[in-house]
Amino acid sequence: MRRRNFVLTGVGALGALVGAGLLGGALREPAPVTATGAASGAGVGAPRTRVARLAAEAGKAVRPDGPFDHVAFVPEEAGGEGLQVRFLTDEGPGPWRPVRFGGHGPDSGGSDGGVLPAPEGAVGYEVEAPGGRTVQTAAIDTREGERVQMRGEAEGVLSTEGVAEELPPLRYVTRAGWGADESLRYGEDGSESWPREYHPVQVFTVHHAAMPVAEDPRETMRAIYRLHTVENGWGDIGYHLLIDPEGTVYEGRVAGGAVPVFQAPPLPGAAKSVTAAHAVGYNSGNIGICLLGDYTSAQPSRAARDRLVRVLRTLALLTGVDPGAKVKYVNPVTGAERTADAVAMHRDWGDTACPGDAFARRFGEIRERVADPLGFT
């Protein structure tokens, strides 16, 4: 299937998100956006993710042969609504928990699985699926695999010096920093499974991961990466940037340039983003930011909301997209059109509850803060 026998190569030339106030001062001729190392790549290591692929039938326990801390679920048919799982421990079964799916994927469509963290001490799990269907699962171990050396810096910084009023730059965790196994992105012939394409930025879309966050969010990152890249078959993680409840930002989809997200250091009106897989049919020119966590019935933390506003304001500044505008989005590849807010929710693009009902009810506050020069603190 895919090459897994060579040393991991972290991509992540540094760079990532941000920090500037929109319209905070007179605009000047933009200087190049630079990415600088915040921590040496020497000594950066991460466990290699291990996976056991198993089929789960309703009413039958699945007991993976080895430790696992997450389980991915990929329905045999599109949708997967109504799927539930409960984890088994030595003390017995836990409560039933829904597995949420959200309309993610490349513009061509394809599998859209879900993933949940397993509780400490889990030795197995059971699934319930409508009609008693068999569900393909992957028991994922992000912790106990052999420790491998990553290549690249653990952190990155994106400077907006010269673009507008200067604010302290924000740091982000690179792919090397959170432990992305870059070998998973390549086929047997050594080529990328998902070749990169770039298009002018038109909009930004906010998501939630629809799952609890591990105590170490890097484990959640590795589990989502594995789900998207291999189990769904996309070839990489579907989001451009991700934010955990503490406000830490993580690099997502490989961009391949001097900074994440973009083909090259972005200039307002000329920025091109790498195409990701977060809003089926509307991905090209659409930057996807995901909040780690499930915000169906709870709000994101204040730290996560504040960092989201900062990221969105910075992206708006660097791309020239007006964050308070309505945009007539046109997919440059397929021609699909839709009018949406420049700062959109995933549900604005299709039939999904993402980024969660609770968060969606107050999402207007995020838009207002991003568009207001005084709304960012």
- The neighbour count for residue 332, using CB atoms within 10 Å, is 14
pLDDT in tens, 185-220: 999 999 999 999 999 999 999 999 999 999 999 999
State yes or no: cis peptide before 245, omega within 30 of 0.
Answer: no
Average pLDDT over residues 132-148: 92
Sorting pLDDT into bands at 50, 70 and 90, what band is 58? confident
Q: Over 90: is that where the pLDDT of 30 sits?
A: no
Distance CA 128, CA 132 (A): 7
List the one residue out of 121, 142, 114 whose CA is nearest residue 51: 142
Amino acid at 23: L
List the one residue out of 340, 336, 339 whose CA is nearest residue 367: 340
Distance CA 271, CA 285 (A): 9
Q: With contact defined as beta carbons under 8 Å apart, do 61 and 27 qualify? A: no
Q: Over 70: is that where the pLDDT of 1 sits?
A: no
pLDDT averaged over every residue in the chain: 85
pLDDT in tens, 259-312: 899 999 888 889 999 999 999 999 999 999 999 999 999 999 999 999 999 999
The lowest-confidence range among 32-36, 143-147, 160-164, 270-274 is 32-36
Average pLDDT over residues 239-255: 98
What are the angstrom distances between the C-alpha of 167 and each of 34, 137, 162, 225, 314?
15, 45, 11, 31, 10
Give the global pTM. Answer: 0.87
Q: Over 90: is that where the pLDDT of 43 sits?
A: no
Q: 50-146+194-377 has which fold?
A: Lysozyme-like (3.40.80)
5: left (phi over 0), alpha (psi -120 to 50) or beta: alpha
Task: State the angle between helix axes of 363-371 and 302-319 in degrees (0 to 180), rounded to the nearest 10.
Answer: 40
Q: How far apart are the first and last CA of the chain?
A: 48
Q: Over 50: is that where the pLDDT of 14 sits?
A: no
Q: With contact defined as beta carbons under 8 Å apart, do 278 and 207 qualify? A: yes
3-state DSSP assignment of residue 57:
coil
Q: With contact defined as beta carbons under 8 Å apart, do 101 and 346 qualify? A: no
Radius of gyration (C-alpha) of the chain in whole angstroms: 20
- Pairing between strand 203-208 and 343-345? parallel
The lowest-confidence range among 30-34, 156-160, 328-332 is 30-34
Q: Over 60: is that where the pLDDT of 376 sits?
A: no
- The neighbour count for residue 376, using CB atoms within 10 Å, is 20
